[in-house]
Protein backbone atom coordinates (compact mmCIF):
# COMPACT_ATOMS: atom_id res chain seq x y z
CA UNK A 1 0.00 0.00 0.00
CA UNK A 2 1.36 3.39 -0.91
CA UNK A 3 0.84 5.92 1.83
CA UNK A 4 -0.77 9.20 0.92
CA UNK A 5 -1.81 11.75 3.48
CA UNK A 6 -1.74 15.50 3.84
CA UNK A 7 1.38 15.44 5.99
CA UNK A 8 3.57 13.16 3.92
CA UNK A 9 3.63 10.74 1.00
CA UNK A 10 5.68 7.56 0.55
CA UNK A 11 5.30 5.47 -2.59
CA UNK A 12 7.96 3.66 -4.67
CA UNK A 13 8.02 6.74 -6.92
CA UNK A 14 7.53 9.62 -4.55
CA UNK A 15 8.55 10.74 -1.07
CA UNK A 16 7.20 14.09 0.07
CA UNK A 17 6.92 15.87 3.41
CA UNK A 18 8.44 14.79 6.72
CA UNK A 19 8.23 11.02 6.95
CA UNK A 20 6.72 9.70 10.15
CA UNK A 21 8.28 6.24 10.41
CA UNK A 22 6.22 5.05 13.38
CA UNK A 23 3.10 5.87 11.48
CA UNK A 24 4.39 4.18 8.32
CA UNK A 25 4.99 0.97 10.26
CA UNK A 26 1.30 0.98 11.14
CA UNK A 27 -0.19 1.89 7.77
CA UNK A 28 2.13 -0.39 5.77
CA UNK A 29 1.55 -3.19 8.27
CA UNK A 30 5.27 -3.94 8.69
CA UNK A 31 7.02 -4.78 11.94
CA UNK A 32 9.49 -2.60 13.85
CA UNK A 33 13.02 -3.95 14.16
CA UNK A 34 12.96 -4.61 17.90
CA UNK A 35 15.93 -5.28 20.19
CA UNK A 36 14.81 -8.88 20.37
CA UNK A 37 14.93 -9.39 16.59
CA UNK A 38 18.26 -7.56 16.44
CA UNK A 39 19.70 -9.81 19.13
CA UNK A 40 18.57 -12.92 17.29
CA UNK A 41 20.06 -11.57 14.08
CA UNK A 42 23.29 -10.79 15.90
CA UNK A 43 23.48 -14.34 17.15
CA UNK A 44 22.95 -16.03 13.78
CA UNK A 45 25.36 -13.63 12.05
CA UNK A 46 28.21 -14.41 14.38
CA UNK A 47 28.00 -11.78 17.08
CA UNK A 48 28.44 -8.50 15.27
CA UNK A 49 25.95 -5.96 13.95
CA UNK A 50 26.50 -3.42 11.21
CA UNK A 51 26.14 0.20 12.35
CA UNK A 52 23.02 0.49 10.19
CA UNK A 53 21.47 -2.11 12.50
CA UNK A 54 23.05 -1.02 15.79
CA UNK A 55 21.72 2.49 15.23
CA UNK A 56 18.34 1.28 13.98
CA UNK A 57 18.73 3.06 10.64
CA UNK A 58 17.26 -0.18 9.33
CA UNK A 59 14.13 0.12 11.42
CA UNK A 60 11.43 -2.22 10.12
CA UNK A 61 10.88 -5.52 8.34
CA UNK A 62 8.45 -8.03 6.89
CA UNK A 63 9.06 -11.63 7.88
CA UNK A 64 12.67 -11.22 8.96
CA UNK A 65 12.05 -13.87 11.61
CA UNK A 66 11.71 -16.49 8.83
CA UNK A 67 15.16 -15.63 7.46
CA UNK A 68 16.64 -15.78 10.96
CA UNK A 69 15.08 -19.20 11.49
CA UNK A 70 16.40 -20.39 8.11
CA UNK A 71 19.95 -19.33 8.98
CA UNK A 72 19.67 -20.89 12.42
CA UNK A 73 18.54 -24.19 10.96
CA UNK A 74 21.14 -24.22 8.21
CA UNK A 75 18.98 -23.33 5.20
CA UNK A 76 20.65 -21.05 2.68
CA UNK A 77 19.07 -17.77 1.68
CA UNK A 78 19.80 -15.46 -1.20
CA UNK A 79 20.03 -11.69 -1.22
CA UNK A 80 18.22 -9.37 -3.57
CA UNK A 81 18.25 -5.61 -4.06
CA UNK A 82 18.12 -3.14 -6.95
CA UNK A 83 18.19 0.28 -8.48
CA UNK A 84 15.99 2.26 -10.87
CA UNK A 85 18.46 4.18 -13.07
CA UNK A 86 16.76 7.55 -13.54
CA UNK A 87 19.86 9.69 -12.94
CA UNK A 88 23.10 9.76 -10.97
CA UNK A 89 23.16 7.80 -7.73
CA UNK A 90 23.42 9.68 -4.47
CA UNK A 91 24.89 8.62 -1.16
CA UNK A 92 21.48 7.52 0.20
CA UNK A 93 21.02 5.00 -2.60
CA UNK A 94 24.14 3.24 -1.42
CA UNK A 95 22.76 2.31 2.01
CA UNK A 96 20.87 -0.84 0.91
CA UNK A 97 23.86 -1.90 -1.23
CA UNK A 98 26.41 -1.40 1.55
CA UNK A 99 24.21 -3.40 3.88
CA UNK A 100 23.61 -6.15 1.30
CA UNK A 101 27.36 -6.48 0.72
CA UNK A 102 27.89 -6.79 4.48
CA UNK A 103 25.30 -9.58 4.59
CA UNK A 104 26.94 -11.30 1.60
CA UNK A 105 30.27 -11.27 3.44
CA UNK A 106 28.67 -12.69 6.59
CA UNK A 107 26.60 -15.40 4.92
CA UNK A 108 28.62 -16.06 1.76
CA UNK A 109 25.47 -16.26 -0.40
CA UNK A 110 24.30 -15.15 -3.83
CA UNK A 111 23.19 -11.59 -4.51
CA UNK A 112 20.88 -10.55 -7.34
CA UNK A 113 20.86 -6.89 -8.32
CA UNK A 114 18.05 -5.77 -10.58
CA UNK A 115 18.52 -2.61 -12.66
CA UNK A 116 15.01 -1.51 -13.54
CA UNK A 117 15.61 0.50 -16.70
CA UNK A 118 12.11 -0.52 -17.84
CA UNK A 119 10.51 0.91 -14.68
CA UNK A 120 12.24 4.27 -14.97
CA UNK A 121 11.63 4.60 -18.71
CA UNK A 122 7.96 3.77 -18.22
CA UNK A 123 7.51 5.98 -15.20
CA UNK A 124 9.29 9.17 -16.23
CA UNK A 125 7.15 10.90 -18.86
CA UNK A 126 10.06 12.73 -20.47
CA UNK A 127 12.82 10.13 -20.20
CA UNK A 128 14.28 8.76 -23.42
CA UNK A 129 15.26 5.12 -23.48
CA UNK A 130 18.84 6.00 -24.47
CA UNK A 131 19.19 8.31 -21.50
CA UNK A 132 17.94 5.70 -19.03
CA UNK A 133 20.34 3.10 -20.48
CA UNK A 134 23.22 5.50 -20.08
CA UNK A 135 22.33 5.96 -16.39
CA UNK A 136 21.94 2.21 -15.97
CA UNK A 137 25.61 1.64 -16.90
CA UNK A 138 26.73 4.63 -14.88
CA UNK A 139 24.83 3.42 -11.80
CA UNK A 140 26.20 -0.11 -12.15
CA UNK A 141 29.69 1.29 -11.66
CA UNK A 142 28.64 2.80 -8.33
CA UNK A 143 27.04 -0.48 -7.31
CA UNK A 144 30.05 -2.58 -8.30
CA UNK A 145 32.28 -0.15 -6.37
CA UNK A 146 30.58 -1.42 -3.18
CA UNK A 147 32.59 -4.62 -3.63
CA UNK A 148 30.24 -7.59 -4.10
CA UNK A 149 31.70 -11.05 -4.76
CA UNK A 150 31.85 -11.23 -8.59
CA UNK A 151 31.21 -14.96 -8.67
CA UNK A 152 28.25 -14.83 -6.35
CA UNK A 153 26.60 -11.68 -7.71
CA UNK A 154 24.44 -11.23 -10.79
CA UNK A 155 23.68 -7.69 -11.95
CA UNK A 156 21.16 -7.52 -14.76
CA UNK A 157 19.40 -4.92 -16.81
CA UNK A 158 15.68 -5.68 -17.04
CA UNK A 159 15.29 -4.95 -20.76
CA UNK A 160 18.28 -7.17 -21.53
CA UNK A 161 17.41 -10.12 -19.27
CA UNK A 162 13.69 -9.94 -20.01
CA UNK A 163 13.80 -12.58 -22.75
CA UNK A 164 15.24 -15.21 -20.43
CA UNK A 165 12.86 -14.57 -17.59
CA UNK A 166 9.62 -13.97 -19.50
CA UNK A 167 8.19 -17.47 -18.88
CA UNK A 168 8.40 -16.77 -15.13
CA UNK A 169 6.96 -13.27 -15.51
CA UNK A 170 3.81 -14.51 -17.20
CA UNK A 171 3.22 -16.95 -14.36
CA UNK A 172 3.55 -14.12 -11.88
CA UNK A 173 1.43 -11.76 -13.99
CA UNK A 174 -1.44 -14.24 -14.16
CA UNK A 175 -1.76 -14.13 -10.37
CA UNK A 176 -2.13 -10.36 -10.11
CA UNK A 177 -5.12 -8.39 -11.31
CA UNK A 178 -5.50 -4.73 -12.10
CA UNK A 179 -7.54 -3.88 -9.04
CA UNK A 180 -4.79 -5.26 -6.79
CA UNK A 181 -1.95 -3.33 -8.42
CA UNK A 182 -3.99 -0.20 -8.65
CA UNK A 183 -4.81 -0.39 -4.94
CA UNK A 184 -1.18 -1.05 -4.03
CA UNK A 185 0.60 1.30 -6.44
CA UNK A 186 -2.09 3.87 -7.14
CA UNK A 187 -2.34 3.04 -10.87
CA UNK A 188 -5.20 4.70 -12.71
CA UNK A 189 -6.93 4.39 -16.08
CA UNK A 190 -4.28 6.65 -17.58
CA UNK A 191 -1.27 4.67 -16.31
CA UNK A 192 0.57 3.16 -19.27
CA UNK A 193 0.28 -0.62 -19.50
CA UNK A 194 4.04 -1.12 -19.35
CA UNK A 195 4.14 0.25 -15.83
CA UNK A 196 1.14 -1.86 -14.86
CA UNK A 197 3.05 -5.00 -15.91
CA UNK A 198 6.38 -3.89 -14.43
CA UNK A 199 5.82 -5.06 -10.80
CA UNK A 200 5.83 -8.67 -12.04
CA UNK A 201 9.56 -8.32 -12.77
CA UNK A 202 10.53 -6.76 -9.46
CA UNK A 203 8.61 -9.54 -7.73
CA UNK A 204 9.81 -12.40 -9.97
CA UNK A 205 13.43 -11.91 -8.90
CA UNK A 206 12.41 -13.21 -5.47
CA UNK A 207 11.77 -16.52 -7.27
CA UNK A 208 15.21 -16.76 -8.91
CA UNK A 209 16.15 -19.44 -6.39
CA UNK A 210 13.97 -22.03 -4.76
CA UNK A 211 14.91 -20.63 -1.41
CA UNK A 212 13.96 -17.61 0.65
CA UNK A 213 15.15 -14.20 -0.47
CA UNK A 214 16.33 -11.58 1.98
CA UNK A 215 15.73 -8.10 0.60
CA UNK A 216 17.29 -4.92 1.96
CA UNK A 217 15.67 -1.73 0.62
CA UNK A 218 14.35 1.58 1.87
CA UNK A 219 10.75 1.48 3.13
CA UNK A 220 9.44 2.95 -0.17
CA UNK A 221 9.79 -0.45 -1.88
CA UNK A 222 7.50 -2.25 0.59
CA UNK A 223 4.43 -2.23 -1.70
CA UNK A 224 6.20 -4.73 -3.99
CA UNK A 225 6.99 -7.07 -1.14
CA UNK A 226 3.44 -7.01 0.17
CA UNK A 227 2.27 -8.21 -3.20
CA UNK A 228 5.06 -10.80 -3.24
CA UNK A 229 3.70 -12.20 0.02
CA UNK A 230 0.24 -12.50 -1.50
CA UNK A 231 1.36 -14.67 -4.43
CA UNK A 232 4.54 -16.54 -3.46
CA UNK A 233 2.96 -19.62 -1.87
CA UNK A 234 0.43 -20.11 -4.66
CA UNK A 235 3.27 -20.29 -7.17
CA UNK A 236 5.23 -22.74 -5.02
CA UNK A 237 7.96 -20.29 -3.98
CA UNK A 238 9.05 -18.72 -0.69
CA UNK A 239 7.75 -15.55 0.85
CA UNK A 240 10.53 -12.96 0.97
CA UNK A 241 12.03 -11.64 4.18
CA UNK A 242 12.53 -7.91 3.89
CA UNK A 243 14.38 -5.33 5.93
CA UNK A 244 13.86 -1.59 5.55
CA UNK A 245 16.08 1.42 6.00
CA UNK A 246 14.96 4.96 6.72
CA UNK A 247 15.84 7.57 4.10
CA UNK A 248 19.15 9.32 4.50
CA UNK A 249 17.78 12.87 5.01
CA UNK A 250 18.31 15.44 2.27
CA UNK A 251 20.98 18.09 2.86
CA UNK A 252 18.27 20.69 2.51
CA UNK A 253 16.35 19.58 5.62
CA UNK A 254 14.38 16.80 7.20
CA UNK A 255 11.51 16.75 4.72
CA UNK A 256 11.22 14.87 1.44
CA UNK A 257 13.76 12.85 -0.47
CA UNK A 258 17.07 13.67 -2.10
CA UNK A 259 16.53 14.21 -5.77
CA UNK A 260 18.25 14.96 -9.04
CA UNK A 261 15.84 17.79 -9.70
CA UNK A 262 17.17 19.58 -6.61
CA UNK A 263 20.94 18.89 -6.84
CA UNK A 264 21.73 20.70 -3.57
CA UNK A 265 19.55 18.22 -1.68
CA UNK A 266 21.98 15.35 -2.24
CA UNK A 267 25.61 14.38 -2.65
CA UNK A 268 25.97 12.48 -5.89
CA UNK A 269 28.65 9.85 -6.06
CA UNK A 270 30.23 11.71 -8.95
CA UNK A 271 30.37 15.14 -7.22
CA UNK A 272 33.87 16.62 -6.87
CA UNK A 273 35.30 17.74 -3.53
CA UNK A 274 34.58 21.40 -4.16
CA UNK A 275 30.90 20.70 -4.81
CA UNK A 276 30.76 18.44 -1.77
CA UNK A 277 32.24 21.19 0.38
CA UNK A 278 29.77 23.76 -0.89
CA UNK A 279 26.77 21.49 -0.39
CA UNK A 280 27.75 20.40 3.12
CA UNK A 281 28.54 23.93 4.26
CA UNK A 282 25.08 25.15 3.32
CA UNK A 283 23.26 22.05 4.59
CA UNK A 284 20.31 22.41 6.94
CA UNK A 285 21.52 22.69 10.51
CA UNK A 286 20.16 22.20 14.00
CA UNK A 287 22.52 24.84 15.36
CA UNK A 288 21.82 28.33 16.64
CA UNK A 289 22.08 31.38 14.35
CA UNK A 290 25.29 32.68 15.95
CA UNK A 291 28.26 30.98 17.63
CA UNK A 292 27.52 32.90 20.80
CA UNK A 293 23.94 31.68 20.99
CA UNK A 294 25.06 28.17 20.06
CA UNK A 295 27.55 28.07 22.95
CA UNK A 296 24.81 29.28 25.25
CA UNK A 297 21.85 27.14 24.15
CA UNK A 298 23.45 24.26 22.23
CA UNK A 299 22.27 22.64 18.98
CA UNK A 300 19.77 19.96 18.09
CA UNK A 301 21.47 16.90 16.55
CA UNK A 302 18.10 15.20 15.93
CA UNK A 303 17.36 17.56 13.05
CA UNK A 304 20.91 18.49 12.10
CA UNK A 305 21.71 16.97 8.72
CA UNK A 306 25.49 16.84 9.27
CA UNK A 307 24.99 14.92 12.50
CA UNK A 308 22.42 12.61 10.91
CA UNK A 309 24.77 11.81 8.04
CA UNK A 310 27.50 10.89 10.52
CA UNK A 311 25.01 8.68 12.30
CA UNK A 312 23.68 7.01 9.14
CA UNK A 313 26.99 6.25 7.50
CA UNK A 314 30.06 8.37 7.97
CA UNK A 315 31.09 7.91 11.64
CA UNK A 316 31.74 4.26 12.31
CA UNK A 317 32.89 4.69 15.89
CA UNK A 318 29.90 4.63 18.28
CA UNK A 319 31.84 6.33 21.07
CA UNK A 320 32.95 9.18 18.86
CA UNK A 321 29.39 9.61 17.59
CA UNK A 322 28.10 9.80 21.14
CA UNK A 323 30.67 12.40 22.10
CA UNK A 324 29.82 14.49 19.01
CA UNK A 325 26.13 14.30 19.91
CA UNK A 326 26.75 15.42 23.49
CA UNK A 327 29.10 18.23 22.51
CA UNK A 328 26.71 19.49 19.88
CA UNK A 329 23.76 19.43 22.25
CA UNK A 330 25.71 21.21 24.96
CA UNK A 331 27.03 23.83 22.55
CA UNK A 332 30.77 23.08 22.82
CA UNK A 333 30.79 21.80 19.24
CA UNK A 334 29.83 24.46 16.71
CA UNK A 335 27.87 23.88 13.51
CA UNK A 336 30.81 24.88 11.29
CA UNK A 337 33.09 22.45 13.12
CA UNK A 338 30.58 19.64 12.83
CA UNK A 339 30.17 20.25 9.10
CA UNK A 340 33.90 20.32 8.57
CA UNK A 341 34.22 17.01 10.40
CA UNK A 342 31.54 15.48 8.15
CA UNK A 343 33.21 16.96 5.07
CA UNK A 344 36.51 15.27 5.92
CA UNK A 345 34.78 11.93 6.45
CA UNK A 346 32.85 12.24 3.18
CA UNK A 347 35.97 13.19 1.21
CA UNK A 348 37.76 10.06 2.44
CA UNK A 349 34.77 7.92 1.57
CA UNK A 350 34.46 9.46 -1.89
CA UNK A 351 38.17 9.08 -2.63
CA UNK A 352 37.90 5.36 -2.06
CA UNK A 353 34.61 5.17 -3.96
CA UNK A 354 36.07 6.98 -7.00
CA UNK A 355 38.99 4.57 -7.16
CA UNK A 356 36.73 1.54 -6.96
CA UNK A 357 34.33 3.07 -9.45
CA UNK A 358 37.19 3.39 -11.95
CA UNK A 359 38.13 -0.27 -11.43
CA UNK A 360 34.47 -1.25 -11.84
CA UNK A 361 34.68 -0.40 -15.54
CA UNK A 362 36.79 -3.51 -16.03
CA UNK A 363 34.70 -5.68 -13.72
CA UNK A 364 31.26 -4.96 -15.12
CA UNK A 365 31.35 -7.93 -17.52
CA UNK A 366 32.02 -10.31 -14.65
CA UNK A 367 28.92 -9.25 -12.75
CA UNK A 368 26.70 -9.13 -15.82
CA UNK A 369 27.89 -12.08 -17.92
CA UNK A 370 31.06 -13.89 -16.96
CA UNK A 371 31.13 -14.54 -13.22
CA UNK A 372 29.96 -17.94 -11.98
CA UNK A 373 26.48 -16.85 -10.99
CA UNK A 374 26.03 -14.66 -14.08
CA UNK A 375 26.92 -17.57 -16.38
CA UNK A 376 24.50 -19.83 -14.56
CA UNK A 377 21.72 -17.26 -14.87
CA UNK A 378 22.27 -16.73 -18.60
CA UNK A 379 21.93 -20.46 -19.20
CA UNK A 380 18.88 -20.85 -16.95
CA UNK A 381 15.75 -22.09 -18.74
CA UNK A 382 12.91 -20.33 -16.95
CA UNK A 383 10.27 -22.20 -18.93
CA UNK A 384 11.17 -25.21 -16.75
CA UNK A 385 11.42 -23.26 -13.50
P1 LIG B 1 15.63 3.36 -6.44
O2 LIG B 1 16.57 3.50 -7.59
O3 LIG B 1 14.57 4.39 -6.27
O4 LIG B 1 16.47 3.31 -5.14
C5 LIG B 1 17.55 2.39 -4.97
C6 LIG B 1 17.56 1.88 -3.52
O7 LIG B 1 17.80 2.96 -2.63
C8 LIG B 1 16.75 3.08 -1.67
N9 LIG B 1 16.67 4.52 -1.37
C10 LIG B 1 17.23 5.07 -0.27
N11 LIG B 1 17.85 4.51 0.78
C12 LIG B 1 18.28 5.32 1.76
N13 LIG B 1 18.13 6.66 1.74
C14 LIG B 1 17.52 7.27 0.71
N15 LIG B 1 17.37 8.60 0.72
C16 LIG B 1 17.03 6.46 -0.36
N17 LIG B 1 16.37 6.71 -1.51
C18 LIG B 1 16.18 5.53 -2.12
C19 LIG B 1 15.55 2.46 -2.36
O20 LIG B 1 14.58 2.00 -1.46
C21 LIG B 1 16.21 1.30 -3.09
O22 LIG B 1 16.45 0.23 -2.21
N23 LIG B 1 12.31 -0.14 -7.98
C24 LIG B 1 13.61 0.06 -7.31
C25 LIG B 1 14.70 -0.83 -7.88
C26 LIG B 1 14.61 -2.25 -7.38
C27 LIG B 1 14.81 -2.69 -6.04
C28 LIG B 1 14.64 -4.10 -6.08
C29 LIG B 1 15.14 -2.02 -4.86
C30 LIG B 1 14.34 -3.35 -8.14
N31 LIG B 1 14.36 -4.47 -7.35
C32 LIG B 1 14.80 -4.85 -4.92
C33 LIG B 1 15.30 -2.77 -3.71
C34 LIG B 1 15.12 -4.17 -3.74
C35 LIG B 1 14.03 1.53 -7.43
O36 LIG B 1 13.62 2.23 -8.32
O37 LIG B 1 14.98 1.90 -6.49
- What is the fold of 8-251? Rossmann fold (3.40.50)
Question: Could you tell me if the CB of 64 is within 6 A of ligand 1?
Answer: no
| Domain 263-357 classification at class level | mainly alpha
The secondary structure element, H or E, covering residue 11 is strand 8-11
Pairs from 177-184 (Cβ < 8 Å, separation ≥ 24)? 180/227, 180/230, 181/227, 183/1, 184/1, 184/2, 184/223, 184/226, 184/227
Please report, for the chain, the start and end positions of each structural domain, with discontinuous segments joined by +.
Answer: 8-251, 263-357
Give 219 Cα–ligand 1 centroid separation in angstroms. 9
pLDDT in tens, 3-36: 555 578 888 988 888 889 999 999 999 999 999 9
Question: Could you tell me if the CB of 298 is within 6 A of ligand 1?
Answer: no
Question: Could you tell me if the CB of 155 is within 6 A of ligand 1?
Answer: no
Residue 1 binned pLDDT confidence (cut-offs 50, 70, 90): very low
Residue 135 binned pLDDT confidence (cut-offs 50, 70, 90): very high
How far apart, in whole angstroms, are the C-alpha atoms of residue 314 and residue 345?
Answer: 6
Mean pLDDT score, 245-271:
89
Give 94 Cα–ligand 1 centroid separation in angstroms. 9
| Greater model confidence, 38 or 3 | 38
Question: Could you tell me if the CB of 299 is within 6 A of ligand 1?
Answer: no
pLDDT in tens, 226-240: 999 999 999 999 999
* Nearest ligand 1 atom to alpha carbon 94: 7
How far apart, in whole angstroms, are the C-alpha atoms of residue 90 and residue 263?
Answer: 10
pLDDT in tens, 274-329: 999 999 999 999 999 999 999 999 999 999 999 999 999 999 999 999 999 999 99
- The percentage of residues in the chain with a pLDDT greater than 90, rounded to a whole number, is 92
**Ligand 1, atom 34: closest residue by C-alpha:** 81
User: What's the predicted TM-score (pTM) here?
Assistant: 0.97
Angle at 47 between CA 43 and CA 50, to 5 degrees: 105
Give 212 Cα–ligand 1 centroid separation in angstroms. 20
Give 96 Cα–ligand 1 centroid separation in angstroms. 7
The preferred substitution site among 121, 217, 228, 266 for testing ligand 1, maximizing ligand atoms within 8 Å of CB, is 217
Give 211 Cα–ligand 1 centroid separation in angstroms. 23
Edge-to-edge strands, sheet with 111-115: 31-32, 58-62, 241-245, 212-218, 77-83, 111-115, 153-157
Amino acid sequence: MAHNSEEFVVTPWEVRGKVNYEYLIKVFGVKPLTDQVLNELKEVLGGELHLLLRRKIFFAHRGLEWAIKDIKEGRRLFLYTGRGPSGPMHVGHLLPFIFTKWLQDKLSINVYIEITDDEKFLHEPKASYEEIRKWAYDNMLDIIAVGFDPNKTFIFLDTEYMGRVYPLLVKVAKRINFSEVSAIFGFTQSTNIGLIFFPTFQIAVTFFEKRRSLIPSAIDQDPYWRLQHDIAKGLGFYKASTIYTKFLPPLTGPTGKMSTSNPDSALFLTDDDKTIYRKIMKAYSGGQPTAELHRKYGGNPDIDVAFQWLKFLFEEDDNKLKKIEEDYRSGTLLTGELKLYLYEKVVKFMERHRERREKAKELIRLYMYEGELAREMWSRDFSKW
